[in-house]
Amino acid sequence: SVPVTTGENIVEIDRDRVRMLYAQCPDKDCMRQGFISRPGQMIVCLPNRMVIKIQSDKSTKEVVDEVTF
């Protein structure tokens, strides 16, 4: 659970992928994006000013090194 401007968002991290499981925002676009797993992919919740971005220093396309909030 991550505190945000409207309450909290819930992020699910599942081995080598991540998604917005629940968001307290009116449109829920961030939840509809589903799982992301490759470096450079992002999930953005604009109403709550929250960004999840996968970053990697490795060239392997399926490795998730870091999730930033």
Per-residue pLDDT for 65 more than 70? no
Q: How many CA atoms lie within 13 A of 15 on its CB side?
A: 1
Per-residue pLDDT for 63 more than 90? no
Residues 8-62 have pLDDT tens digits of 999 999 989 999 999 999 999 999 999 999 999 999 999 999 999 999 877 555 5
Whole-structure pTM value: 0.74
- The model's confidence at residue 69, banded by pLDDT at 50, 70 and 90, is very low
Per-residue pLDDT for 66 more than 80? no
